[in-house]
Amino acid sequence: MKTKMPGIYLHIPFCDTKCIYCDFYSITNHSKKNEFLSAIKKEIAAQSAKLRDSSFDSVFFGGGTPSLLDKDDFTSIFDTLYNNYDISVNTEITIEANPGTLTKEKLEQFKQLPINRISFGVQSFIDEELNFLTRIHSSNEAINSIRAAQDAGFENINLDLIFALPGQTMESWKFNLERAVKLNTQHISAYSLIFEKGTALYSMMEKGSVSRADLDLEQEMYEYTMEYLTAKGYEQYEISNYAKPGKECRHNLKYWTLEEYISFGPSASSYIGDKRWTNVKNIGKYIDLIEEGKDAYDFIETIDKDTSITEHIMLGLRSRGIVFADFKDKHNIDFLNTYSSRVELLIEKGFAVKDNTKLSLTRKGYAVCDEIVASLF
């Protein structure tokens, strides 16, 4: 059996603007950038003892907008990472990027760093939709940024898209997918718009200025996305993620297969052993705690057996399936015997298929995954 290797996540909270739909911790005031960089490097070093004997094969810079940092900022972070952790030679190192923050020169500088994967927050190739989402880039800037990254030599690129926007039509969503496929990136993530509490978008809905997309239309968009991207050579390996063969996001797979990861920065969450913790969602408090030599935890929990089982089922169904041997090893439970009636019901309704090694959802099942988990497991 392949030895599992943990991942590293770093949360870079700075953005140029706060998008109306975003509920991740981000700030538009960059005045504490240098203090933040000092703090996150201290946290990286201070936490290294937790996984001293581990080797890491994924590093992910999320945000926020990590591409706002410059080459020297990244160089200092990488120096700290490599000095404190065993980073394997073939590690996948991803940076999230806003197309409006990257130039040809900056991409060429990033190529000189260990970064080997870029995830572009495109969201749409229609300017009117981008304006609604309060993105700072245009459709042309998105296209040009991706092509510039390809020209700079990046061979592992993702682009994010959002569907089920208020007023979006099936035709405009098909246009977005067609434009994405033409760019020939190795990975495409396609998410339905979520109205998260606390976001400007949610407030707009409460005031009646926007409405959610029709559920039937959203379902049609999702089903078309699965069919279209699969036909274009992308394998769906999670509800919202599609990759060319061998180009699945190694880091995100760790979340879905319950592998360990350690994270740094405000609001960042870690998962080691049976413990999960999240840092404070305030850059000032985060910096103060780290500078005082303390952990920056806001929340820590011990994951009990029932929670671990539920999460294993939920995340397995959302991605590549529940591998029976892995489930037995982790929980000492025979999945098929324990859940036989529910498994047969899913298969009978066409929501799932099974072979000798695992149970996995069909496209029909993916479309109602949340309902399956809530009602059956």
Q: What is the pTM of this model?
A: 0.94
CA distances (Å), origin 229, targets 167, 179, 222, 226: 23, 12, 11, 6
Sequence-distant (≥ 6) Cβ neighbours of residue 185 within 8 angstroms: 120, 146, 157, 158, 159
Sequence-distant (≥ 6) Cβ neighbours of residue 136 within 8 angstroms: 16, 17, 98, 100, 101
Going along the chain from its start, the domains and CATH numbers come out as 7-256 (3.20.20.70), 306-376 (1.10.10.920)
Per-residue 3-state assignment (H helix, E strand, C coil) for the chain = CCCCCCEEEEEECECCCCCCCCCCCCECCCCCHHHHHHHHHHHHHHCHHHHCCCEEEEEEEEECCHHHCCHHHHHHHHHHHHHHCEEEEEEEEEEEECHHHCCHHHHHHHHCCCCCEEEEEEECCCHHHHHHCCCCCCHHHHHHHHHHHHHCCCCCEEEEEEECCCCCCHHHHHHHHHHHHHCCCCEEEEEECCCCCCCHHHHHHHHCCCCCCCHHHHHHHHHHHHHHHHHCCCEEEECCEEECCCCCCHHHHHHHCCCCEEEECCCCEEEECCEEEEECCCHHHHHHHHHCCCCCEEEEEECCHHHHHHHHHHHHHHCCCEEHHHHHHHHCCCHHHHCHHHHHHHHHCCCEEECCCEEEECHHHHCCHHHHHHHHC
Question: 350-359 contacts: CB < 8 A, separation 24 or more?
Answer: 352/317, 357/323, 357/324, 357/325, 358/320, 358/321, 358/322, 358/323, 358/324, 359/316, 359/317, 359/321, 359/322, 359/324, 359/335
> Average pLDDT of each block of 10 consecutive residues along the chain (377 residues)?
78 95 95 98 95 93 95 98 95 95 92 97 98 95 96 97 97 98 98 95 94 94 97 96 97 94 98 96 98 96 94 93 94 94 94 94 90 87
The owner of tokens 């682009």 is: 159
The owner of tokens 């699965």 is: 226
Sequence-distant (≥ 6) Cβ neighbours of residue 3 within 8 angstroms: none
Return the pLDDT at 1.
35
